[in-house]
């Protein structure tokens, strides 16, 4: 088990959150992450090189992600000397904790909104 | 897959320099690979705007994240950012000690930055910027219609076809159409009206564009309600309606009819293409008969009717643009299959564009002009850098001692480079500030002079945050760029022993020589471009127009939009011309349906009656009153002008006047041969027209136009909705005021617009060429000045450094002339060094400008010789003074030495 508490990282920054989501699917390199995140968020999140790599450096330092060997169908791309990253156990736990936190927050908000609307209608 | 190309080396170095060393080691290579891919994508998406946006984004990204990484690194490593901040402080102190130097460099850079910023602002306004007030740009699609066979021709769609297209395109959640028109708005409390751009829109127009009114509702006709409703722009509401919060429900007189105000658009929203047209009024399409009285009832239901629309759609849910394009194409095919040639879509293909913005033909034209301007501006920025670099080297020569001392005291070489670059950075930012001021001035000038006449809204270009970021971006880049080379040489020099003699400055002198050479090369390119464009403007100004624009005033009126019927219009035009002729100082007055050198105009094919229609000749057609030829000074070559009774006659007389070239092509021989003959015109089937006169040839559509002209008396086919009045007056008379009075007497609510001297109209038809010529000559002149100053600096320094040697030569009997020639030769060698690359660069510049040249070949040798001569003259001038000073050296004084 990792020695840090995943709750220490909450709330995750939007970048950390999106990078972890992407890496949960498959290891990826920097540009692959950019493409994946921009696609999934329909362009709402645009990533510059500096933002992404300083973020990756921080996440690597915090042991949320780790550099990995490219495997399988990634090997062809690996010849282009990209650094590939994958999510660590700690990263996985931090993401799960964040999702739980968000769900709780969303539940609260929905409850309040529903109550407000019924008051207005009634 | 091809590996993406490298970025320019300076850019890569610059980006890497932003980050602390620890980050560079781990991620530097990776970061550059990322940027290369990103650039390739940017270029692929939008060839012109993409790279510019990419550059700005990359620099901002590096500045922001580099700073953050440095702060973090300084926390963990105890160095980095704090070190850099102290470098900046040192640099600031050092610059403050030399205010004259700092100011000169800042102004030199400011010129380039200012010009670049101004050009970027314009490009941003036309093609780059998201349209103000429009929400969710990436989900909006503009649909245009392009001719299947004649490529490049664009068309619009009729209302029934628009509705069918929308119904058959499920990828669109909503779709809407807009028809551009004009509105005459009576200002509350006055009798006067304003003429403003108006859009007739379908019900979902605001929803599709994501526009929410700040007051009231969106423009649409509600069931059971009078459709005569209007949504006004925020600007109109504030400026003309007093910003009244209770404006909704008030009545506005629009085109002579009462319209109820139902909403106010959000601030800054002026329709989908504000660079082209700033709409102030939105009216539901159901009210078109009230807005356009000339348009009959039932027009909306006509599939091939003449009420046409641009189509906009908002993509539904997850739908992509490609899907919408495919559905539109098959919808078009289905509609054409069903209705055949009755459909407005017959013969056209649908073209979809992402988002909203200016029409493709406007964008294309803008991109060419902006391309030329950007090339000129890039040269100017580089020139500024070379010159500033030169000044910096001069200064570092004076500081050799200081730097050597710092080096000896243990400052690392990188430390000295960083300090010099920090100074460069500060100077760059200072230059940026100067540049912002200059950009403002340039934009103001553009707005006042209407340089780009096809872009009516240029004077409203704001300088927003993105433009300021752009200016800051180039300032930083130039700052670092021009200080890089001097910083590196200076630091190398500082490695040498303290108090070294002239040997120490050799490297610096070589560098300065190179910088001067660079300046010469860049200047040559700019001067060649300027001469070519000035030649173009001069040739255009000398063209024989066929009419005499001096002392002619033109004014346009639109009684059709005001709600006048045919009879009323005929009376109005007759009265207007008659009363104008009586104004003091007015020698002749005439009316035309389409203004000369204007946007409106119709064409028709003409053939001699009884001949084969296949032999018809294409010509421009205009409807005019009697006196038109005299007012414009167009000579009558044969026959006569129209008679007053032929104009606006209740029974058409079927007469025409032909231009000379056209008459010759149709009937051969002398112009008289055509008088009395009959011609037929396309669109006037079954009628034949008697040629009553032959006029001189006229450049109808613009200075470069070559076409033939057919004149018909006004009213022969229709009584025009609008018209342009021409008044020829004495040099002393100014008929503007009296003319306005005449129109006020006829109808106080009728706006009069485009009031100008005909000369202004003619000049504005080549305003773009004039803009380019003026700017490049300004830049070229500055370039010569800067190159001259640079050379002067080098030569002065040479003379100062060689005082002893020169003194010795004079002591040994060298004549003044020989010394002078030696130094002049040396100066000219530096000029020659820049001439060869300069000529190549100039040829490249000529290629870029080629599409805007007229009457001069891009590689005209005379132009290149002239430019070379200008540079040689500058070289002689700049070396002469130092050379003369050298001959005055007193050998005794010089040899005494230190």
- Are the Cβ atoms of A31 and B34 closer than 8 angstroms? yes
Mutate which: B15, B16, B24, B27, vs A, most A CBs within 10 A = B27
Closest-approach residue (CA) in chain B for A35: B38
Euclidean distance between CA atoms B623 and B620, whole angstroms: 10
Between B461 and B575, the higher pLDDT residue: B575
Q: Residue B150 pLDDT more than 80?
A: no
Q: Residue B82 pLDDT more than 60?
A: no
Question: Touching check for B54 and chain A: CB below 8 Å?
Answer: no
Q: Residue B189 pLDDT more than 60?
A: yes
pLDDT at site B452: 61
Average pLDDT over residues B590-605: 84
Question: Touching check for B138 and chain A: CB below 8 Å?
Answer: yes
Of chain B, the end-to-end C-alpha distance in Å amounts to: 67
Indicate the pLDDT class of residue B46, thresholds 50, 70 and 90.
low
Between B113 and B487, the higher pLDDT residue: B113
Indicate the pLDDT class of residue A18, thresholds 50, 70 and 90.
very high
DSSP state of B458: G
pLDDT digits (tens, 9 = 90+) for B640-659: 999 999 999 888 889 999 99
- Are the Cβ atoms of B61 and A56 closer than 8 angstroms? no
Mutate which: B30, B56, B63, vs A, most A CBs within 10 A = B30
Question: Touching check for B582 and chain A: CB below 8 Å?
Answer: no
Q: Residue B61 pLDDT more than 50?
A: yes
pTM of the predicted protein model: 0.68
Question: Touching check for B533 and chain A: CB below 8 Å?
Answer: no
Nearest to B348, CA basis, from B147, B161, B144, B143: B147
- How high is the ipTM of this complex? 0.83
pLDDT at site B556: 93
Residues of A with CB under 8 A from a CB of B: 29-31, 34, 43, 48-54, 56-57, 80-83
Rg of the Cα atoms in chain B: 34
Closest-approach residue (CA) in chain A for B2: A80
Q: Residue B503 pLDDT more than 50?
A: no
Euclidean distance between CA atoms B638 and B633, whole angstroms: 15
pLDDT digits (tens, 9 = 90+) for B207-240: 999 999 999 999 988 888 899 999 999 999 998 8
Within B238-298, strands assigned E span 251-254, 257-264, 281-284
Do residues B463 and B116 make contact, with C-beta atoms less than 8 angstroms apart? no
Euclidean distance between CA atoms B867 and B852, whole angstroms: 19
Nearest CB neighbour to B26, from listed A31, A57, A82 = A57
Indicate the pLDDT class of residue A77, thresholds 50, 70 and 90.
low
Nearest CB neighbour to B65, from listed A29, A51, A80 = A51
Asked if the bond preceding A111 is cis, omega within 30° of 0, the reply is no
Average pLDDT over residues B728-732: 85
pLDDT at site B501: 44
Contacts of B23 in chain A (CB under 8 A): 53-54, 57
Between B62 and B1, the higher pLDDT residue: B62
Q: How far is B188 from chain A (nearest CA, A)?
A: 41
Do residues B31 and B16 make contact, with C-beta atoms less than 8 angstroms apart? yes
Euclidean distance between CA atoms B594 and B754, whole angstroms: 13
Between A4 and B46, the higher pLDDT residue: A4
- Are the Cβ atoms of B34 and A30 closer than 8 angstroms? yes
pLDDT above 90: percentage of residues in chain B: 33
Sign of CA dihedral B384, B387, B388, B389: positive
Q: Residue B588 pLDDT more than 90?
A: yes
pLDDT at site B423: 81
Euclidean distance between CA atoms B731 and B723, whole angstroms: 24
Euclidean distance between CA atoms A56 and B651, whole angstroms: 84
Average pLDDT over residues A65-81: 65
Backbone angles phi, psi at B316, to 5 degrees: -85, 145
Question: Touching check for B18 and chain A: CB below 8 Å?
Answer: yes
Which residues are within 8 A (CB) of B476 and not within 5 positions of it... i.e. 6 or more apart? B59, B63, B425, B428, B429, B432
- Are the Cβ atoms of B62 and A50 closer than 8 angstroms? yes
pLDDT digits (tens, 9 = 90+) for B698-727: 998 888 877 789 999 999 888 888 999 999
Average pLDDT over residues B307-331: 91
Mark out the alpha helices in B399-505 (DSSP H runs): 400-408, 413-449, 465-495
Mapped onto helix, strand or coil, the DSSP state of residue B557 is: strand
Question: Touching check for B65 and chain A: CB below 8 Å?
Answer: yes
Sign of CA dihedral B450, B451, B455, B457: negative
- Are the Cβ atoms of A57 and B61 closer than 8 angstroms? no
Longest dimension (CA), chain B: 109
pLDDT above 70: percentage of residues in chain B: 90
- Are the Cβ atoms of B27 and A48 closer than 8 angstroms? no
Q: Residue B495 pLDDT more than 60?
A: no
Euclidean distance between CA atoms A32 and B38, whole angstroms: 11
- Are the Cβ atoms of A49 and B61 closer than 8 angstroms? yes
Q: Residue B393 pLDDT more than 70?
A: yes
- Are the Cβ atoms of B61 and A80 closer than 8 angstroms? no
Nearest CB neighbour to A57, from listed B15, B27, B34 = B27
Q: Residue A1 pLDDT more than 50?
A: no
pLDDT at site B889: 76
Q: Residue B884 pLDDT more than 70?
A: yes
Q: What is the dihedral of CA B797, B802, B804, B806, to 10 degrees?
A: -110
Euclidean distance between CA atoms B428 and A73, whole angstroms: 48
Q: HSE-up of B401 (CA within 13 Å, CB side)?
A: 3
Euclidean distance between CA atoms B813 and B834, whole angstroms: 34
């Amino acid at each position: 088990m990792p020695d840090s508490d995943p709750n220490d990282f909450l709330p995750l920054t939007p970048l950390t959150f999106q990078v972890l989501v992407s890496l949960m699917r498959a290891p990826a390199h920097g540009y692959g992450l950019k493409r994946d995140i921009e696609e999934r968020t329909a362009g709402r999140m645009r990533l510059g090189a500096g933002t992404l790599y300083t973020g990756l450096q921080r996440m690597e330092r915090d042991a949320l992600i780790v550099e990995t060997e490219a495997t399988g169908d990634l090997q062809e791309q690996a010849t282009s000397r990209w650094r590939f990253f994958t999510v660590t156990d700690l990263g996985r736990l931090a993401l799960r904790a964040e999702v739980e936190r968000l769900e709780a927050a969303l539940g609260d908000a929905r409850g309040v909104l529903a109550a407000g609307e019924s008051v207005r209608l009634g | 897959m091809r590996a993406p190309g490298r970025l320019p080396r300076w850019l890569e170095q610059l980006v890497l320099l932003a980050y602390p060393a620890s980050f560079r080691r781990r991620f530097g290579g990776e970061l550059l690979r990322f940027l290369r891919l990103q650039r390739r994508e940017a270029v692929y998406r939008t060839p012109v705007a993409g790279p510019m946006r990419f550059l700005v984004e990359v620099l901002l990204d590096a500045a922001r994240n580099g700073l953050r990484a440095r702060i973090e690194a300084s926390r963990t490593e105890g160095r980095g950012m704090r070190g850099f901040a102290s470098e900046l402080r040192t640099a600031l102190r050092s610059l403050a000690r030399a205010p004259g130097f700092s100011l000169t460099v800042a102004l030199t850079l400011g010129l380039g930055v200012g010009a670049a910023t101004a050009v970027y602002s314009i490009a941003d306004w036309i093609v780059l910027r998201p349209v103000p007030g429009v929400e969710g740009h990436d989900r909006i699609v503009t649909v245009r219609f392009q001719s299947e066979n004649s490529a490049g021709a664009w068309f619009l769609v009729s209302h029934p076809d628009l509705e069918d297209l929308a119904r058959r395109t499920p990828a669109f959640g909503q779709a809407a159409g807009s028809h551009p028109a004009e509105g005459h708005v009576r200002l509350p409390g006055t009798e006067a009206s304003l003429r403003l751009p108006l859009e007739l829109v379908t019900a979902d127009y605001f929803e599709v564009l994501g526009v929410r009114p700040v007051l009231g509702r969106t423009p649409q006709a509600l069931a059971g309600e009078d459709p005569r409703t209007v949504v006004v722009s925020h600007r109109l509401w504030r400026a003309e309606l007093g910003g009244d919060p209770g404006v909704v429900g008030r009545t506005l007189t629009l085109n002579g009819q009462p319209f109820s105000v139902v909403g106010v658009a959000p601030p800054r929203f002026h329709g989908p293409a504000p660079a082209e047209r700033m709409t102030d009024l939105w009216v539901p399409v159901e009210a078109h008969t009230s807005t356009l009285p000339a348009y009959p009832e039932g027009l909306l239901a006509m599939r091939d009717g003449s009420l046409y629309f641009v189509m906009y759609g908002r993509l539904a849910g997850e739908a992509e643009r490609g899907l919408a394009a495919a559905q539109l194409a098959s919808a078009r095919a289905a509609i054409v299959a069903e209705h055949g040639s009755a459909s407005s879509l017959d013969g056209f293909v649908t073209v979809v564009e992402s988002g909203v913005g200016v029409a493709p033909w406007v964008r294309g034209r803008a991109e060419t002009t902006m391309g030329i301007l950007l090339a000129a501006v890039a040269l100017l920025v580089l020139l500024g850098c070379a010159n500033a670099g030169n000044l910096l080297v001069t200064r570092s020569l004076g500081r050799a001692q200081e730097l050597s001392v710092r080096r000896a005291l243990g400052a690392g070489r990188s430390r000295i480079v960083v300090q010099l670059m920090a100074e460069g950075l500060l100077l760059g930012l200072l230059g940026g500030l100067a540049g912002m001021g200059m950009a403002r001035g340039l934009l103001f000038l553009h707005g006042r002079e209407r340089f780009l006449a096809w872009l009516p809204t240029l004077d409203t270009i704001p300088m927003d945050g993105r433009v300021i970021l752009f200016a800051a971006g180039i300032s930083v880049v130039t700052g670092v760029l021009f200080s890089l080379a001097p910083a590196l040489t200076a630091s190398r020099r500082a490695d040498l022993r303290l108090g070294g003699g002239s040997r120490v400055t050799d490297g610096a002198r070589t560098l300065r020589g190179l910088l001067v050479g660079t300046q010469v090369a860049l200047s040559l390119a700019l001067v060649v471009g300027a001469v070519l464009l000035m030649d173009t403007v001069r040739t255009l100004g000398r063209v024989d127009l066929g009419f005499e624009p001096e002392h002619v005033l033109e004014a346009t009126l639109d009684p059709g939009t005001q709600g006048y019927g045919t009879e009323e219009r005929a009376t109005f035009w007759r009265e207007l011309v008659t009363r104008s002729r009586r104004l003091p100082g007015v020698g002749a007055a005439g009316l035309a349906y389409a203004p000369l050198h204007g946007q409106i105009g119709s064409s028709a094919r003409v053939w001699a009656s009884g001949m084969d229609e296949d032999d018809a000749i294409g010509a421009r057609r205009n409807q005019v009153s009697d006196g038109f030829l005299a007012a414009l000074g167009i000579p009558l070559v044969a026959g006569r002008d129209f008679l007053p009774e032929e104009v606006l006659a209740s029974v058409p007389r079927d007469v025409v006047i032909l231009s000379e070239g056209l008459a010759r092509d149709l009937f051969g021989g002398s112009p008289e041969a055509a008088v009395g003959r009959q011609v037929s015109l396309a669109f006037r089937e079954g009628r034949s027209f008697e040629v009553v006169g032959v006029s001189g040839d006229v450049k109808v559509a613009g200075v470069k136009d070559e076409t033939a002209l057919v004149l018909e008396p006004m009213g022969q086919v229709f009584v025009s909705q609008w018209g342009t009045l021409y008044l020829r007056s004495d040099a002393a008379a100014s008929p503007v005021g009296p003319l306005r009075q005449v129109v006020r007497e006829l109808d106080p609510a009728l706006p009069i617009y485009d009031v100008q001297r005909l000369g202004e109209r003619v000049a504005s038809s080549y305003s773009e060429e004039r803009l380019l010529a003026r700017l490049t000559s300004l830049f070229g002149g500055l370039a010569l000045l800067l190159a001259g100053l640079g050379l002067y600096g080098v030569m002065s320094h040479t003379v100062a450094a060689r005082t002893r040697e020169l003194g010795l030569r004079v002591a040994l009997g060298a004549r003044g002339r020989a010394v002078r020639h030696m130094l002049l030769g040396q100066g000219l060698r530096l000029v020659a060094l820049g001439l060869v690359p300069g000529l190549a660069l100039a040829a490249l510049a000529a290629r870029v400008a080629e599409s805007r040249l007229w009457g001069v070949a891009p590689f005209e040798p005379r132009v290149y010789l002239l430019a070379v001569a200008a540079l040689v003259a500058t070289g002689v001038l700049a070396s002469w003074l130092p050379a003369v000073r050298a001959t005055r050296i007193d050998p005794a004084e010089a040899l005494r030495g230190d």
